Amino acid sequence: MSYGQTRALKGATFAVDEGELFGLIGPDGAGKTTLIRILASLLVPSGGSATMCGADVVRDYQAIRQMVGYMPGRFSLYQDLTVRENLEFFASVFGTTVEQNYRLIEDIYKMLEPFANRPAGKLSGGMKQKLALSCALIHKPKVLLLDEPTTGVDAVSRKEFWTMLRKLKNEGITMLVSTPYMDEAAQCDRIALIQNGDILQIVSPKQIVDSYAYDLFGIESKRPNAVIKALRADSRFQSSFLFGHEVHLSVEMRSIAVDAVERYLLENGIETIAVRRISPTIEDCFMSLMEHNNAIG
Amino acid sequence: MKRSNNSIWGFIRKEFFHIFRDKKTLLLIFGLPVAQLLLFGFVVTNEIKDAKIAVFDQSKDYLSLQLVNKLVSSGYFILSDNLSNASQIDEVLKAGKAQLVVSIQPNFAAEFQKQGVASVQLNADASEPNTASILTAYASAIISDFAAENSGMPQQTLVSVQSRMLYNPDLKSVFMFVPGTMALILMLITAMMTSISIAREKEMGTMEVLLVSPLKPWQIVLGKVFPYIGLGFANALLIIILGYFVFMLPMRGSMVLLLLVTLLFIILALSLGILISTVSKTQQVAMFLSMFALLLPTILLSGFIFPIENMPVPLQWLSLIMPPRWFISALKTIMIKGEGLAFVYKEILVMLGMTIAFLSLSIKKFKIRL
């Protein structure tokens, strides 16, 4: 799939198992939305093919539209309709009623119930996402495609949202969720790391952490930017990134010790508060993968 | 089948929610026709009423006084000035004190009695050419009438043109403006509103969700169009009632036929609106397209304000593809001439053909994807 000269998606080959909660993780502009839109039958790929439950996303688009629940990245409900009216409208579009599948959305809708008569445009970000999810679920889809459902939502709502998705998994709904937040990857059964239109790796969250091939240090300092600058000047250090207030430094396995790092920084005139060995998070793994990929590409 | 019915009713219900919650637009939809009609009916008028004239009567005899009386009592003119010398003619016209000056020759009665011929000169302010020519025509008609009454010798009148204005003997411009305004309003409200409301779904991203649903294009289109048929029809009734009671527009033909033709035109305008929406991505584009593609041609090329017969031939051809032209023509035939189906079947067929063409084109152009 390409937009003008830019190819948004190059090589994306993956298979999602039935009932799986599959994460599509990558930075903005990686091609996540394009991929999801192709699966939702909204875009026709310039090459390649995709099927869902045996239905081709181009040829059998009508079958796809019967069984898919789709939640676009942008809030796409009727802002002037109330919560209840939105839900009823989407139920009617799919030829069903709210009552018929109420059980499926019960947990989510209970949180929305106090606002049932409020126009959707006047809800908070987290509430909007819950309503959008309810609307996407109301016809009991086999597959749920969620495009960045947690973008622009506060941390608590994000956590709640993932809890809801885990529950839906128990209902046997297959879910494909895209997100730019790497920490959310841990919530998925498997994840595909996507960058510049390529899928770098498909792994389970545990696998990706286990396969991390470096030693990792967390460095706390009052001048984290100076730390990164100093570390990047020496080729012994593989890579260094700022994670919150801490600098994460990766080096070849067993090539260097904690006190050696501390000493090196002190030689460069930087005092550190703490240097310690840490175990990698998904984000560390993704950063190293991306760097590796850039080096090749 | 039940399933698709449900979907459509749900859609129509939703569409009515949108319309009735948007109070400003709703006010516009029903305020606009009233305002437009009153404006066109009362302000934009080319009738002559109470035009100011000045009289330069050099004779001042019984006959000249009678002539002036006749002019003033016609209702078209009011006497603003009596002039005493010829140089004042230019003055009053320049100052705008009079639009027309009637100069009567000296010894008017005597000449008329003796030779059967007397002269009256009319000077009109032609900086407004239409008004000037209408004023002089009215005045000449009154004067020749007067001459014929007083000569008692009809054979003296060399040429006598007898014209009768049919259907609209008083040449009331309202008869022209009410059908025109109706076409304009229906076009604007139905076509513009539908095109904007479909474009809004695209702009707000809700179209994306509708597309990934089992709804078929024709269901989306029908759901969008249905409420506006109702609104358009309510509007048409409002205009007809206003025209009838406020402007005394005659209703000589069949009401049923009139309403059927109106309904057909509403559907035609809607199909045009849908076509516009299929090519516009945002509400703004839809609005501009409606303005330029609908409003201006309706006003300029439909015969609403400017008679089609007076246009250059290429523009006359162009006017053939303007939907309002056919509607206005049918409307006038039914309301004012009081004719039946036999005289408007051509208009009906043309409008029907246009509707089918626009609808099939829009369903074909309706994107089932992004």
How far away is chain B from the Cα of A134, in angstroms, using its nearest Cα? 13
Let me know whether B251 and B358 are in one domain. yes
The answer to whether ipTM exceeds 0.85 is no
Of A41, A77, A91, the CB nearest to B206: A77
Say whether pLDDT at A293 is over 80: no
Let me know whether B122 and B254 are in one domain. no
Lowest mean pLDDT among A88-92, A140-144, B158-162, B184-188: B158-162
CB contact under 8 A, B6 and A79: no
Q: Where are the beta strands (DSSP E) in B51-107?
A: 51-57, 77-82, 100-104
Give the pLDDT confidence score for residue A70 in this predicted structure.
95
Contacts 24+ apart (CB under 8 A), A27-31: A27/A180, A27/A195, A28/A180, A30/A194, A30/A195, A30/A196, A30/A197, A31/A1, A31/A194, A31/A196, A31/A197
Q: Where are the beta strands (DSSP E) in chain A?
A: 2-3, 6-7, 21-25, 51-52, 55-56, 68-71, 143-147, 174-179, 190-195, 198-203, 214-221, 237-243, 246-252, 272-277
Domain count, chain B: 2
Pairing of strands A237-243, A198-203: unpaired
Cβ atoms of B195 and B274 within 8 Å: the answer is yes
Let me know whether B312 and B202 are in one domain. yes
Alpha-carbon separation of residue A290 from A23, A190, B153 (angstroms): 17, 18, 111
Give the pLDDT confidence score for residue B1 in this predicted structure.
41
Give the pLDDT confidence score for residue B168 in this predicted structure.
59
Give the amino acid at B170. D
Pairing of strands A214-221, A246-252: antiparallel
How far away is chain B from the Cα of A293, in angstroms, using its nearest Cα? 31
How far away is chain A from the Cα of B223, in angstroms, using its nearest Cα? 11
Say whether pLDDT at A24 is over 90: yes
CA atoms within 13 A on the CB side of B302: 28
Interface test with B, best of A76, A86, A93, A131 (most B CBs within 10 A): A93
Cβ atoms of B130 and B46 within 8 Å: the answer is yes
Burial A192-217 (b: 16+ CB within 10 A, else e): bbbbbbbbbebbebeebbeebebbbb
Say whether pLDDT at A37 is over 70: yes
Of A66, A68, A76, the CB nearest to B204: A76
Let me know whether B212 and B329 are in one domain. yes
Residues of chain A found within 8 Å of residue B368, distances taken between Cβ atoms? 61
Domain membership flag for residue B160: no
CATH code of the domain containing B111 = 3.40.1710.10
Give the amino acid at B145. D
Give the pLDDT confidence score for residue B167 in this predicted structure.
61
B298-344 pLDDT, tens digit each? 888 888 777 788 888 888 888 888 899 999 999 888 988 888 888 89
- Bridge partners of residue A147, in order along the sequence: A178
Alpha-carbon separation of residue B204 from A6, A73, A137, B22, B305 (angstroms): 25, 12, 20, 16, 39
Residue range A40-60: average pLDDT?
Answer: 91
Give the amino acid at B53. I
CA A32 – CA A73 distance, rounded (Å)? 10
Residues of chain B found within 8 Å of residue A44, distances taken between Cβ atoms? 369
* Residue of chain A whose Cα is closest to the Cα of B18: A80
Domain end residue (candidates: B118, B150, B182): B150
CA A239 – CA B54 distance, rounded (Å)? 99
Residue range A98-126: average pLDDT?
Answer: 92
Domain end residue (candidates: B84, B119, B150): B150
- Bridge partners of residue A52, in order along the sequence: A55
The secondary structure element, H or E, covering residue A11 is none
Residues of chain B found within 8 Å of residue A70, distances taken between Cβ atoms? 208-209, 212
Lowest mean pLDDT among A18-27, A112-121, B41-50, B341-350: B41-50
Cα torsion angle, A34, A39, A42, A45, sign: positive
Domain membership flag for residue B251: yes
Let me know whether B178 and B128 are in one domain. no
User: Which residues in A have their CB inside 8 Å of a CB on B?
Assistant: 37, 40-44, 61-62, 65-66, 68, 70, 72, 74-81, 85, 88-95, 135
Residue with tokens 């080959």: A13
Domain membership flag for residue B36: yes
Give the pLDDT confidence score for residue A162 in this predicted structure.
93
Residue range A26-37: average pLDDT?
Answer: 90
Residue range A156-177: average pLDDT?
Answer: 92
Domain membership flag for residue B2: no
Give the pLDDT confidence score for residue B153 in this predicted structure.
55
Selection from B269, B271, B230, B265 nearest residue B13 by Cα = B230
Alpha-carbon separation of residue B230 from A100, A115, B14, B15, B115 (angstroms): 32, 32, 15, 12, 69
Give the amino acid at B167. Y
Structure tokens at B230: 């109702």
Domain membership flag for residue B244: yes
Residue range A201-229: average pLDDT?
Answer: 89
B33-67 pLDDT, tens digit each? 888 888 877 776 556 678 888 999 888 888 888 88
CB contact under 8 A, B369 and A88: no
Report, as ranges of residue numbers, the positions in chain B whose pLDDT lies below 50: 1-2, 155-161
Residue range A207-224: average pLDDT?
Answer: 89
B1 touches chain A (CB under 8 A): no
Domain end residue (candidates: B102, B119, B150): B150
* Residue of chain A whose Cα is closest to the Cα of B369: A42
CA A270 – CA B154 distance, rounded (Å)? 122
Let me know whether B309 and B193 are in one domain. yes
B364 touches chain A (CB under 8 A): no
- What percent of chain A is predicted at pLDDT more than 90? 55
Let me know whether B235 and B107 are in one domain. no
Q: How many interface pairs between A and B have CB atoms less than 8 angstroms apart?
A: 81
CB contact under 8 A, A92 and B11: yes
Residues of chain B found within 8 Å of residue A81, distances taken between Cβ atoms? 14, 17-18
**Which domain, by its residues, includes B314?**
16-44+172-369
Please report how the helices A125-137 and A155-170 are oriented relative to each other, as an axis angle in degrees rounded to 10. 20
Structure tokens at A10: 């190059």
Domain membership flag for residue B291: yes
Let me know whether B144 and B179 are in one domain. no
B204 touches chain A (CB under 8 A): yes
Let me know whether B63 and B187 are in one domain. no
Give the pLDDT confidence score for residue B158 in this predicted structure.
42
B14 touches chain A (CB under 8 A): yes
Domain membership flag for residue B6: no
Alpha-carbon separation of residue A79 from A74, A121, A209, B205 (angstroms): 13, 4, 42, 11
Interface test with A, best of B213, B216, B222, B370 (most A CBs within 10 A): B213
Of B13, B205, B369, the CB nearest to A43: B369
Domain membership flag for residue B321: yes
Grouping H, G, I as helix, E, B as strand and the rest as coil, residue B26 is helix
Of A70, A79, A80, the CB nearest to B212: A70
Residue range A42-54: average pLDDT?
Answer: 90
Let me know whether B100 and B67 are in one domain. yes
The secondary structure element, H or E, covering residue B120 is strand B120-124
Let me know whether B86 and B127 are in one domain. yes
Contacts of B5 (CB under 8 A, 6+ apart): none
How far away is chain A from the Cα of B26, in angstroms, using its nearest Cα? 15
Selection from B18, B366, B362 nearest residue B216 by Cα = B366
Residue range A134-156: average pLDDT?
Answer: 92
Grouping H, G, I as helix, E, B as strand and the rest as coil, residue B24 is helix
Say whether pLDDT at A3 is over 70: no
Interface test with B, best of A78, A86, A143, A176 (most B CBs within 10 A): A78
Let me know whether B22 and B143 are in one domain. no
A234-248 pLDDT, tens digit each? 888 888 988 888 999
Of B7, B22, B209, the CB nearest to A70: B209
Look at the pTM and tell me if it is higher than 0.90.
no
* Residue of chain B whose Cα is closest to the Cα of A69: B212
CA B255 – CA B186 distance, rounded (Å)? 18
Q: What is the DSSP string of B166-230?
A: -S-TT--THHHHHHHHHHHHHIIIIIIHHHHHHHHHHHHTHHHHHHTSS--HHHHHHHHHHHHHH
CB contact under 8 A, A93 and B208: no
CA A206 – CA A185 distance, rounded (Å)? 10
Residues of chain B found within 8 Å of residue A93, distances taken between Cβ atoms? 7, 10-11, 210, 213-215
Residue range A134-151: average pLDDT?
Answer: 94
Residue range A20-34: average pLDDT?
Answer: 91
